[in-house]
Amino acid sequence: MRGSLHDVDGFIIDLDGTVYRGKEIIEGVPETVALLKEAGKRVLFLSNRGNISRKMCYDKLCGMGLAVAEEEIMLSSTATARYLQQNNPGCQAWVLGEQGLKDELIAGGIALAAKPEEADWLVITLHETLTYHDLNQAFRAVRSGARIIATNADKTFPGDGGDCIDVAGMIGAIVASTGKEADVVIGKPSRFMAETALQELGLPADRCIVIGDSLESDIGLGKQAGMKTALVWSGSTKKGTAIPEERRPDWIWDSINDLRALL
């Protein structure tokens, strides 16, 4: 394990499993984040959540007692709006997903199509109130020529009563029935998500660390982008899990609170 975090200026912190679990904050996190800021560090909360808006996430974190600015949050929904704005300004989007994503696209300057047939892009995210009608509308968007972009491609998320089917299922339904592949997947560990995070922080990769509970999403993103990485046992990865060489993080902590000793 490496020594201190003195030469790290930007802290890219995952949310689910790192800051909170479900509706509960992980003990000590508000104090740890406050310490980071007192030490003059820059902080960005980076999450694959694509079905909520930044505003919704901000309200949730504030409600949990975390002192955070809305600009310190980057969700895959936020990043998806930014991708479309950068790569296809003026495009129209059809959403297979929830209101949070729609809000975030509109906030990011992306117009929502009035009909699926008029969409340039089908944007897919987790949709926990999905119906057959929703699937069929999304199917029609793609059959009418819309390209497919997904906020993320996670297969499962921990929900009430165990693991639940996540965005990968929604993508699979559209891909299998239309024969078209997803053109873009935004979420961690994508290069776009890493670049967006660095842009937000205004720092080079080697002065940043990614802290998260997922070997694939968090450690994967950090290592690919040349950042430092820390795995926490407080979320989906069980303590003691065997870690393949290419995913070995610079630090392994019980929780993000362990970083206090290294500041």
Residues marked as catalytic: 14, 16
| DSSP string of 161-182, one letter each residue | TEEEE-HHHHHHHHHHHH-PPP
Query: Which DSSP category does 128 fall into?
Result: T
Per CB under 8 A, 19 contacts a second copy: no
Instruction: Tell me which residues in 24-53 interact with a second copy (CB under 8 A).
Output: none
Q: Is 134 labelled a binding residue?
A: no
CB of 165 to a second copy, least distance (A): 4
Instruction: Tell me which residues in 138-157 interact with a second copy (CB under 8 A).
Output: 139-140, 143, 155-156
Q: Which is nearer to a second copy, 171 or 197 (CB)?
A: 171
| 220 neighbors 242 (Cβ within 8 angstroms) | no
Instruction: Tell me which residues in 158-187 interact with a second copy (CB under 8 A).
Output: 162-166, 168-179
CB of 101 to a second copy, least distance (A): 15
Per CB under 8 A, 191 contacts a second copy: no
Contacts 24+ apart (CB under 8 A), 30-34: 30/64, 30/65, 30/66, 30/67, 31/257, 32/256, 32/257, 32/259, 32/260, 33/66, 33/67, 33/68, 34/67
Q: Is 14 labelled a binding residue?
A: yes
Rounded CA gap, 102 and 150, in Å? Answer: 13
**Listed ranges 13-21, 26-34, 124-132, 210-218: which one lies at the site for a second copy (CB under 8 A):** 124-132
Q: Which is nearer to a second copy, 102 or 228 (CB)?
A: 102
**Listed ranges 134-142, 184-192, 198-206, 242-250: which one lies at the site for a second copy (CB under 8 A):** 134-142
Contacts of 83 (CB under 8 A, 6+ apart): 149, 184, 186, 192
Per CB under 8 A, 136 contacts a second copy: yes
| 163 neighbors 156 (Cβ within 8 angstroms) | yes
Which residues does the annotation place in the binding site? 14, 16, 188, 213
- Site residues (vs a second copy, CB under 8 A): 127-132, 135-136, 139-140, 143, 155-156, 162-166, 168-179
